[in-house]
Structure 1
Amino acid sequence: MQYTSAEPLTVYGKANVSLQYADEGEGSFSEVSSNASRAGVKGNVDLDNGLTLLYQIEWEVDLANLSGSDNIKAREQYVGLSGDFGTLYIGRKDSVTKTNSAARDLFNNYQGDLKYLWKGENRLSESLTYESMDINGFHFDFNYVTKGSEDGEDGASVGLRYGDSKLKNSKWNASLTIDSDINGYDTQRASVQTKVDSWLFSAMAHRQKKSDQDESDSGWLVSAQYAYTQWKFKSQFQTLEDNNSVSVGADYQLGKSTQVYVWYTMQSLDDTPDKSWLALGIEHKFQN
């Protein structure tokens, strides 16, 4: 059989930069922040026996600071195989918990990102990931993290989800995930999201503990978004025991791929001064 060397290749990414006014408890200051700006290549190749090869190589690029080796960081980078059995990835992949929570976090990649209070937002190196085929709207997902060395510890992130994250094929999107010894923590998280007319509502419950300890911390999150013409108005409240984070903001769509935004986040953390941030920024997505 003769194969062609040509294959589909997509170059993609986004530039997201904001001017921010920050008060982190010891005085206020202004800054320019690059909010997970990124670039990457991805593609897929049809194989024999109904199989498809997938790949993605993505990097985070700091557009605001000259920070040496930290200016470019690896994001998800993997090769995968898809078929009737589902999809199998090997390489560097977001955990099931992180992936299934992304659509509920309205301030993802900003200071209101749920990762600042909760454990579980992990990108897993040296990992094997499986995503099942659709079974009446349900999917089963699994990450296995290898030890990596004789002194390392393996870990797992598993989840069950229903619906699709963009709510195009179902009115509800829900998930339940469990992490075991991922970066030293065990976590459990349940989440649900639904859309009612121009409103988007989300809720999450979360529990975490260090893998070698018995004491755990719990928290919850609620968020709401309202779409009106080119505007999206959004708010989010998150807790972890006595720690709270509240965020409000608005996005204005300038075109298919470009938006400007403003947001404000305040964090009230146990035994530390309150922190707050106010940002005005622009985001542009590109793809060939």
Structure 2
Amino acid sequence: MKLLKKYMVLAMSSALSLSAIAAEKEQEEEIIDFYGKLNISIQATEEGDDSFNEMKSNASRVGVKGQYTLDHGLTAIYLLEWQVNVNDDDKDTLTARNQWVGIRGSFGELTVGRSDTALKVSQGKFDLFNDYEGDLKHLFIGENRVSDAITYKSPVFSKLQFLTSYIISDDRDADDPYSVGVFFGDLNLKKDDFFLSIAHDENMPVGFKRTDGTKSTEALANTRITGMYQLGDMRLGAMFVDSEVGSTGKAENGYAVNASYKLGKVLAKVEYQEFAGADSISVGADYKLGKNTKVYAWYTDREGNNYLADDGFTYALAEEGTYFAIGMEQKF
């Protein structure tokens, strides 16, 4: 009887040990990352005859991303991200950002859901004033995040990578939009000190506001070429854009150049943009308080831009104004 009890104890111990090993292995196969950032600033705004102060949330966000090891060398990947509008009095302060699920393997990555177009991704870390009033999206056309997207990202071959998105249009009478891009180097400038890209959107639906208060959704054809180079503590960048709005028959082009210089914990930066006869200049500085914490100040002066299209309507592309802000960003 004692011998039987010993065998039972050994069997139970072995089962528990195997269960613990299996659980540990399963935990190693699944990786979940909860992340986010809060970026809050106090901003002085002058637009036309209006002058006021406001608090800005600057695309603060929260998200969860992860991966799970599958059979046949495949990995399931997913991402759910929301913008957090902490300066909004409304109770509903969450706005959808990139949200998708997909598969990764030796062939690359294939995802479905809501995601940035290849053209939007192609800028990499070019925009030194991203999420602020100096953001490219306030002057250029085509900073799109689209739903119903099927996106493919190739593996990197000799520093070369291909990215494309096919969007299933909700409009049965419209051609489905698509976006393609080719990247060379490292878009984060961490593994390589250079980055080059060319990207194109076709039939991309973009909402425009007319000066008479009405709105219109137009199909956009957009091409963008971007280059960045890191030289020690200095970083230089240049971008060229060519945009054509479908039914308006209007084609416009523009460019942007910028530079930043790191001096100790301070990052000084300047960016100039010109599009469709209007321009914008931004200057600013970031100060690192820690690995994931910084304070900053910046100033943007932007020209407004309207144009008369072939359809007889005047479209408002950018609002004229001057902006100054001081703020803090905390990542987690």
- TM bin, normalised by shorter chain, reads over 0.9
Determine what percentage of the aligned residue pairs are the same residue: 37
Which deviates further from its counterpart, 135-144 or 159-168? 159-168
- After superposition, the C-alpha distances for 1:203-251 in whole angstroms (9 at most, x for unaligned) are 0000111123433000000000000110000000001121101000000
Judge conservation of contact 1:35–1:109 (CA < 8 Å) in 2.
yes
- After superposition, the C-alpha distances for 1:143-190 in whole angstroms (9 at most, x for unaligned) are 100023534541000011101112222221000001001112110000
Give the structure 2 partner of residue 256 of structure 1.
291
- After superposition, the C-alpha distances for 1:47-102 in whole angstroms (9 at most, x for unaligned) are 11111111000100111121354x21000000121111111111001011111114
Structure 1 residue identity aligned to 2:86: L
Structure 2 residue identity aligned to 1:164: D
Alignment counterpart, residue 62 of structure 1, candidates 59, 67, 85: 85
Alignment counterpart, residue 109 of structure 2, candidates 87, 92, 101: 87
Give the structure 1 partner of residue 255 of structure 2.
220
Task: Give the 5 Å matches for 1:1-288.
Answer: 6=27, 7-69=30-92, 71-183=93-205, 184-270=219-305, 274-286=320-332
- Pair member with larger Rg: 2
Gaps of 5+ in 2: 1-18, 206-218, 307-317
Structure 1 residue identity aligned to 2:285: A
Deviation at 1:274, TM superposition (A): 4.0
Distance 1:59 1:261 in 2: 24
Deviation at 1:46, TM superposition (A): 1.1
Higher relative contact order (CA 8 A, sep 6+): 1
Distance 2:302 2:250 in 1: 23
RMSD value over aligned CA atoms?
A: 1.8
Judge conservation of contact 2:77–2:103 (CA < 8 Å) in 1.
yes
| Number of equivalences | 284
Structure 1 residue identity aligned to 2:280: S
Distance 2:240 2:150 in 1: 26
Structure 2 residue identity aligned to 1:29: F
Structure 2 residue identity aligned to 1:109: D
Secondary structure in 2 matching 1:97: helix
Secondary structure in 1 matching 2:72: helix
Secondary structure in 2 matching 1:115: helix
Secondary structure in 2 matching 1:219: strand
Distance 2:43 2:114 in 1: 31
Judge conservation of contact 1:140–1:161 (CA < 8 Å) in 2.
yes
- After superposition, the C-alpha distances for 1:267-287 in whole angstroms (9 at most, x for unaligned) are 01236984100000000000x
Deviation at 1:122, TM superposition (A): 0.5
Distance 1:38 1:189 in 2: 27
Judge conservation of contact 2:295–2:328 (CA < 8 Å) in 1.
yes
Distance 1:225 1:75 in 2: 28
Structure 2 residue identity aligned to 1:246: I
> What TM-score, normalized by structure 2, do the two folds share?
0.82
Secondary structure in 2 matching 1:119: coil
Distance 2:244 2:259 in 1: 28
Distance 1:270 1:96 in 2: 26
Judge conservation of contact 2:299–2:325 (CA < 8 Å) in 1.
yes
Structure 2 residue identity aligned to 1:269: G
Gaps of 5+ in 1: none
Distance 2:305 2:163 in 1: 34
1:273–1:26 CA distance, 2 compared to 1 (3 A): farther
